Amino acid sequence: MSHHHICEGLNSLRLLGMEQAMTQMSETPDMADWSFDEKLTFLIDAEIQNKAQRRQVRMLKAAKLKATNACVEDIDYRAKRSLDRSYIQVLKTCDWVARNQFIIITGSTGVGKTWLGCAFANQAIRLGYPVVYKRYSLLLEELEIARRDGSLPKYRNRLSKIKLLILDDWAMAPLTPSSRQDLLEVIEDRSGNSALLITSQLPVNKWHEYLDEPTMADAIMDRIIHRSHRIELTGQSMRRKHGVKKDNYHEKI
């Protein structure tokens, strides 16, 4: 069978990594002397790598991160934001995701909460964990819509299957009795089962007041706080930081 027909067959089977590797082998004279086992290993490794890359692209698209290019390697430790490099290196392993733990990132507007959250999300995707990013206010809207049209159990079930949920700008929308209950259920679904990352301008010690209803607030706070790693960002807005160009804001912060 000719090289052309082999590649056509691999393409029809959607073995795109192998197809590319076959072309590479045909264009690299030194590979002609490889043994059958060496060539087969090369083809299999290429297919595994290609599938992993395509899966990562799909997962990144499904996550809908606000800062798609954010990554932990680009974290700027020079800015005085109280970032502990050694602590970030521990969180970078995503062991907290595997253990179904939470991260809370707080700080004033512009200090890089969302970007940092997306960097952790990107790292989780690299390691094969499904991620979904939600603005907190949008989540409340979607829960309310699902409640009205009767699809709330299905919506919550879909959320619960996501390994890491990002809630950006926590406490930036008013709560109603029904939305407070829905929020509790979302948190409960994740407690011990999956991971959660929250960013908020509101300090944690103000959350109980924001949640308002004491019994419900106690229940929500108890499920979040005791499972959470805390990052409290300080300092000036990174958007206004001298020497940081606007075009580069989402690349390194």
Per-residue pLDDT tens digits of the chain, which is 253 residues long:
576 677 777 677 677 777 787 788 777 888 877 888 887 888 888 777 777 778 878 989 999 999 999 999 999 887 777 888 999 999 999 999 999 999 999 999 888 999 999 999 999 999 999 999 999 999 999 999 999 999 999 999 999 999 999 999 999 999 999 999 999 999 999 999 999 999 999 999 999 999 999 999 999 999 999 889 999 998 777 665 544 444 444 445 5
Report the C-alpha gap between 231 and 112 in whole angstroms. Answer: 11
Q: What is the pLDDT of residue 15?
A: 75
Residues spanned by CATH 3.40.50.300 within the chain? Answer: 64-248
Among 112, 109, 140, which Cα is nearest to 211's? 140
The DSSP bridge pattern shows strands 228-232 and 195-200 to be: unpaired
Contacts 24+ apart (CB under 8 A), 42-47: 43/17, 43/18, 44/18, 46/17, 46/18, 46/20, 46/21, 47/15, 47/16, 47/17, 47/18, 47/21
Nearest-Å Rg of the Cα atoms of the chain is 23
Report the C-alpha gap between 175 and 62 in whole angstroms. Answer: 27
Question: C-alpha 83: how far from its chain's center?
Answer: 20
Convert 171-204 into a string of H (helix), E (strand) and C (coil): CCCCCCHHHHHHHHHHHHHHCCCCEEEEEECCCH
Among 26, 133, 115, which Cα is nearest to 79's? 115
| Amino acid residing at 87 | Y
52 and 205 in contact (C-beta within 8 Å)?
A: no
The CATH superfamily label for domain 64-248 reads P-loop containing nucleotide triphosphate hydrolases (3.40.50.300)
